[in-house]
Structure 1
Amino acid sequence: MTTILLVDSHDDARRTLATALGKLRSDWTIAQADSGLAAMSQMDDKSATGHVDVIITESQLVDMEGVTLLDQVRSSAQQPLRFTLSSNSEAEAVLANSRANQRFLLKPVSAEQLANIIERSMRLQHALNEERLNLYMSTVNAVPSVPAIYDEMMKELASAHSSLIKVASITESDTGLTVTVLKIVNSAFYGLSNRVESVGQAVTLLGVHLIKNITLTTKVFARFKGSKLSARRLTQLNDEAMRIGALANQFARLAKLSRSTTDHCQIAGMMANVGELIATSKAESDDGQPSLSIEIIGARLLDSWLMPYAVVEAVALQHESPPRNVDMLSPLVVLHSIRYLQKTFTDTTDDQQRTLCHEYLAQLVPPAVAEDWMDAFHAIEQLTAAKPPRAA
């Protein structure tokens, strides 16, 4: 039995959603709470609701902020999936830097959309907790922890007094990282007309989240230097991470996705191959091959870092066609589309391939967006063919 706990201080909205979900999924138990304290009380009293599988809260409750509730839930024994469903668009930017919230959903979201997202998230959670994967990850020596400098950036961004100058100074405290960041932002991928000379300038021109994501990718890949993974293959994976990340960023902007969703798309793109880093290193050290997909291995790592569930989902399912009933554009749709084009749009001058790819993408996004994505993909492929980037 699946139990969903809805937390909203607006009684009518909460009851309406609970009724609609109950009708759509008769095998679910829909519990309700009108405050953060009431929600925690229900979770503590298992005889009342049983095990809670998913908790969905408004961003602002009568007695506390939703993120405060989710932070308490994160420390509880039950460990349910933690979502925020809110009409406050400003809350999305705040919650994007909080690891307590796993997925933010901006209203209006239909009950059917929400039910589908819950089901997909629960299937993914089951896959991430599979015993085979637990055993595999326990035997990997090269599993990187969250880079300390990235963690420091996240804490600064989550602060009520967050400063772009402070984020830039955190980056500049690492000389090697500063060199890499400037090399990447000055690459043709980001199309700047004038050369960027400082991290502070890069933050102003391209945004703090891009710098944060480059920092994460650079530090993760640096962890594998000197390992049994060949230098050539590591460079290839690093280059592809930067290329897919740039494409994901462009795709999200062309689709006019929110700032936080664009950020998640780019993280998913840059981390798309992180599972191969782990799997290849382990395979070369013990002469074995993983019986699990490298995508689920990578997703498990990102989940252990408390990455947003939309990012984890995108990395886990990047090669699988998204369900056609997905009503909202997500990092999964963006990353899968890039992977599809890499596999199918191998000759960007071939009209037949272009037509085939456009027909496929138009099932996932509006036709005009599909056309823009294909043009962006073509442009990046031309840049790559002319001069492959070197991120590190």
Structure 2
Amino acid sequence: MGLRVLFVDDETRILEGLKRMLRPFRKEWSLSFAKDGREALEILEKETFDVIVSDMRMPGIDGAELLSTVREKYPDMVRIILSGQSDQEKIIRSVGPSHQFLSKPSDPQEIRKTIQSIRVFKELFKEETLARIVGGLSSLPSLPSLYTEVMEKVNSPTASLADVGEAISKDPGMTAQILKLVNSAYFGLSQEVTSPAVAVNLLGLNTVTSLILTVQVFQELSPELLRRFKLDLLGDKSLLVAKLARQIALEETGEKKAADEAYTAGLLADCGKVILASGFPERYGKVVEAAGGDCLWAVEEEEEEFGVSHGPIGAYLMELWGLPGPVVAAIAFHHHPGKARQEEFSALTAVHAAACLEREVGSMGEDEDGPGREGGDGEAGASFLDMEYLDGLGLSGKVEHWRELVEEQVQACAEEA
């Protein structure tokens, strides 16, 4: 069956225009149209859809309210705002319930590309429950310490964009939300933004404050999950991998854009673990138990339990939220980079190397009772590096140099602790 898409707009001429523009896709998609939010909800009660694309400004039930209801009742549906709306307050209202924001008028090929790229990751899920859990998310919970730090910065009378940006860039959940908004069509930027600090600067302090205090798209991790799965350690590891990936990318390319992509991908690489731990705590508890109590490197156990690991799960959410392609690919394939079929150095390469080498170097200092599954003999990371992938890129000779960079960074972090 083709993809089922519901378009909602109160302007008849807009709906007629969409029907004409999207006619070439009728062999791929089953298209339906509703003239307002109320009719859309009536249709949804009778039929099943994969995607809903709604105008923002409509009488009665507007786009934000409609998509909020859809998120609650049909969380696995992809939710897209298609609007020429320029009211910042209304746009910010749509951040939570919508996955992406596209401008109107929009190129039909852009709509097709957006929907198809999301579908690729969704098809990796063997369980419908996973798609519902991920699709229903409006935020990724943050570590309490980082959440508190950002709140203090925002509420400070001397708050600066630089201070807020630095604080947000330490946290995967906040970084993802900021990049989701700044890369939306609302801002119409000529190039994608991958640096959370740059994103905060572009959004401005008032918008960031509204996101935090008014819309409340940032949330804290529950203390119970934090303790049970040691997610504070996961947060520390994610930040370290992000820094290492950025350093490796700078060494290899000398380009800030590549370094920013690598940093953000490294920071978000394990966000799928947070999704699994919070959405399926009992089942993820079994995963961690099977991995010897180690949630940091339980890829095979995740695949055994859920049919897919945290990489594609996190990537699906980031694709839903419209984050840049190189970042999404790195999150999806950082444990299996050969599956991405890339032929040159990328954020994926940097994150894969950083994560594996951090694992190797970190395990060297562990005793036999430590969390490393290789008994602390220093071989864990080496066994996970995909040397065939690195050989194919002509980069296997760089591994020792990268290892030295990782050792220096790990040592520096240990001294700071």
Change (3 A) 1:31 1:276: closer
Count of equivalent residues:
298
2:141 alignment partner in structure 1: 146
- Structure 1 length-normalised TM: 0.52
Please tell me whether the aligned partners of residues 22 and 28 of structure 1 are also in contact (alpha carbons under 8 angstroms).
no
What are the residue-to-residue correspondences of 1:52-63 with 2, within 5 Å? Answer: 52-63=49-60
Q: Deviations over 1:321-366 (max 9, x none)?
A: 8799xxxxxxxx98547548979xxxxxxxxx9xx79xxxxxxxxx
SS in 1 for 2:5: strand
Asked whether the equivalents of residues 58 and 66 of structure 1 are also in contact (C-alpha less than 8 Å), the reply is yes
Residue 100 of structure 1 corresponds to 97
Q: After TM superposition, list the pairs within 5 Å mapping 1:234-383 onto structure 2.
A: 236-244=237-245, 268-275=265-272, 281-285=288-292, 289-290=301-302, 291=304, 296-300=309-313, 308=321, 310=323, 315-316=331-332, 335-336=347-348, 338-339=350-351
Say if 1:42 and 1:215 are closer, same or farther in 2 by CA, change over 3 A: closer
Q: How far off is 1:201 after superposition?
A: 4.5
Matched residues in 2 for 1:149 and 1:235: separation?
13
Equivalent pair of 1:7/1:35 in contact (CA under 8 Å): yes
Partner SS state of residue 101, structure 2: strand
Q: Distance in 2 between matches of 1:381 and 1:59?
A: 50
Q: Deviations over 1:58-117 (max 9, x none)?
A: 232244432121101112247421111234466599449833111223456421232232
- The question of whether the paired residues in 2 share the 8 Å contact of 1:283 and 1:289 is answered with yes
8 Å CA contact 1:273, 1:295 repeated in 2: no
1-side partners of 2:88 and 2:247: how far apart?
A: 26
How far is 1:302 from its partner?
8.3
Structure 2 CA distance, aligned partners of 1:12 and 1:247?
Answer: 52
Aligned mates of 2:90, 2:266 — CA distance in 1: 20
Query: One-letter code of the match for 1:124?
Result: F
Secondary structure at the counterpart of residue 73 of structure 2: coil
Partner of 1:75: 72
Query: 2:242, 2:267 within 8 Å by CA — same for their partners in 1?
Result: yes
Where 1:83 maps in the other structure, the secondary structure is: strand
Q: Which residue matches 2:83?
A: 86
Q: Distance in 1 between matches of 2:67 and 2:146?
A: 19
Alignment match of 1:206 (pick from 165, 188, 194): 165
Counting aligned pairs with the same residue, the percent is 17
* Residues 149-192 of structure 1 deviation map (CA, whole Å, 9 limit, x = unaligned): 59988xxxxxxxxxx9956267x9xxxxxxxxxxxxxxxxxxxx
SS in 2 for 1:121: helix
- Cα gap change, 1:269/1:27 in structure 2, threshold over 3 Å: closer, same or farther? same
Which residue is equivalent to 1:13?
14
Which piece of structure 1 moves more, 12-21 or 271-280?
Answer: 271-280
Alpha-carbon offset, residue 11 of structure 1 = 3.0
